[in-house]
Amino acid sequence: MPHDMMADPAARHPLASRKSAGLTGRIAVPGDKSISHRSLMLGATAIGETVITGLLEAQDIIHSAQAMAAFGAHVERHRDGTWHVTGIGTGGYQDPVGPVDFGNSGTGVRLAAGLIATTPVAVTLTGDQSLQKRPMGRIIAPLEQMGARFEATGDGRLPMKVTGAGDAVPISYRLPVASAQVKSAVLLAGLNAPGITEVIEPVATRDHTERMLEAFGASLRVSERDGARRIAIEGHKELTATDIQVPGDPSSAAFAIVAALITDGSDVTVRDVMLNPTRTGLIDTLLEMGADIEIANRRVSGGEEIGDITARTSALKGVTVPAERAASMIDEYPVLSVAAAFASGRTRMEGLNELRVKESDRLAAIAAGLAANGVDHKTGPDWLEVTGGANTIGGGEVVTHMDHRIAMSFLVMGLAAHEPVAVDDASMIATSFPDFAGLMRGLGADIAEQDSWR
Ligand code: S3P
């Protein structure tokens, strides 16, 4: 396993950005994070060798790769950049030696907990300081019903000891929160439960787990009743290894797209971006705001629609983003808030309660970042209003609270703001988009260590 991909978590890394001339060029962003986690986990469970092309090589994913190896799968990176995973079969996981650490990744730990919950392994799962604050009760509740036992810290936090069920019980579970992680944990647990395990989701969330389970030959049925999606999986079936091509991550492309929209004289194309409709809420919103965005070359690759997205400098206007759209752009609110700061009028975002339990309390972190940079805004328990258009914003130092998306979003703000914008710690960007600064600089973005400008 390549340890050189893991940065030193103790090293704080301040970074700043400042007003840049037009951003221009054509880039590809790294592979989708959600699909990368799932390809390693299903590969580790399947019979045979899964070859993954375009895997996101970022800390969150390396933690998942290491975890799958700890549970007994063979995981290897070849020199051509492909990842080869030889799985151990449904129910084949072994007891790891020592705790398994998922770093900053909620997706990694929650999906892995589901995967092992119906196999009799005993393991302690843990993560970094940010992940230790995030709620695990949402997966503990259904997985306990399936027979797993959990000894969590405090009110359902990491570190937590998991003892998988030797005699698992299938369940029908209605999601109390719109969460693809919880849905996925239950479906993955269902792989090694007898009979049919069902998840009912009143609000559709990203469907990568369902798509990939089908690609690996799982017996899955998706239907809709009374406006809710029902996903049923039949357990005790072996998965068959299948090759995966990971498309570009729309959540990473979002930073270059918004940067181009708000920076004068910009014309940027991000190619091969995944356009799965459960992930494109930001694009829909930006188009409503008047963004000059074009999508070309739409095609299907690896079971997902992809395309090339071009964004040019635009006069944005404020809009209301309805709560129903939140699931399809849940990770994009930080960067949408930055776009809103440059839009004329008011942008209101509703249904943001889940932002409170992300890598940071994102609603609070966004609000503090906007305040530090003089952007007019208001927040409530689950909403945010940003009044944009002023040309004097910037000049603030943003506290990132170990949240990669807060760091990248406010670095994007600095590219178009009147005054530079600094972030106290950009090191967490390595969890999802290690070459963010390099790629943005390649487009003409002025992002640097603050001291280098003095
Ligand atoms: C993810 C689901 C979302 C998202 C996260 C990735 C996934 O989390 O925020 O970045 O890959 O399933 P929730 O399920 O908590 O909404």
- 117-129 pLDDT, tens digit per residue, is 999 999 999 999 9
Mean pLDDT of the chain: 96
Q: Which atom of ligand 1 is nearest to the CA of 327?
A: 16
Q: Inform me whether the pLDDT recorded for 453 exceeds 80.
A: no
Mean pLDDT confidence for 330-334: 98
CB 261 within 8 A of CB 207: no
Q: What percent of the chain has pLDDT over 90?
A: 94
pLDDT tens per residue across span 228-279: 999 999 999 999 999 999 999 999 999 999 999 999 999 999 999 999 999 9
Among 80-94, 188-202, 366-380, 383-397, name the one with the lowest average pLDDT: 383-397
Q: Inform me whether the pLDDT recorded for 180 exceeds 70.
A: yes
Residue 194 — very low, low, confident or very high, per pLDDT cuts 50/70/90?
very high
Residue-level pLDDT at 10: 57
Q: Which atom of ligand 1 is nearest to the CA of 38?
A: 11
Tell me the C-alpha to C-alpha distance, in Å, between residue 268 and each of 35, 405, 438: 25, 20, 15
Residue 3 — very low, low, confident or very high, per pLDDT cuts 50/70/90?
very low
Mean pLDDT confidence for 286-312: 96
Probe target for ligand 1 pocket from 330, 431, 432, with the most ligand atoms within 8 Å of CB: 330
Probe target for ligand 1 pocket from 59, 206, 325, 405, with the most ligand atoms within 8 Å of CB: 206
pLDDT tens per residue across span 38-85: 999 999 999 999 999 999 999 999 999 999 999 999 999 999 999 999
Six-digit token string for 40: 């390693």
Six-digit token string for 146: 């399936």
Pocket of ligand 1 (CB under 6 A): 34, 107, 179-181, 184, 206, 330-331, 354
Q: Is 451 considered catalytic here?
A: no
What is the 113 CA–ligand 1 centroid distance (Å)?
Answer: 15
> Does this model's pTM top 0.95?
yes
Residue-level pLDDT at 30: 98
Rg (the chain; Cα; Å): 21
Residue-level pLDDT at 12: 82
The domain made up of 33-244 has a fold known as: UDP-n-acetylglucosamine1-carboxyvinyl-transferase; Chain (3.65.10)
Mean pLDDT confidence for 309-335: 98
At 39 the three-state DSSP class reads: helix
Q: Which atom of ligand 1 is nearest to the CA of 111?
A: 12
Candidates 150, 133, 215; CA nearest to 185 is 150
Q: What percent of the chain has pLDDT over 70?
A: 96
Residue-level pLDDT at 454: 52
What is the 105 CA–ligand 1 centroid distance (Å)?
Answer: 10
Selected catalytic residue, list 331, 382, 424, 425: 331
Q: Could you say which DSSP state residue 208 is in?
A: H
Tell me the C-alpha to C-alpha distance, in Å, between residue 132 and each of 102, 106, 109, 129: 10, 10, 11, 5
The domain made up of 3-31+247-449 has a fold known as: UDP-n-acetylglucosamine1-carboxyvinyl-transferase; Chain (3.65.10)
With residue 21 as reference, give the H or E element that holds it: none
Q: Which residues neighbour 380 within 8 Å (Cβ) at sequence distance 6 or greater? A: none
3-31+247-449 and 33-244 agree in CATH topology:
yes
Q: Inform me whether the pLDDT recorded for 392 exceeds 80.
A: no
CB 112 within 8 A of CB 69: no
Residue-level pLDDT at 8: 58
Domain boundaries, the chain: 3-31+247-449, 33-244
Query: Any idea what the Cα angle at residue 138 is, between residues 320 and 37, rounded to 5°?
Result: 80
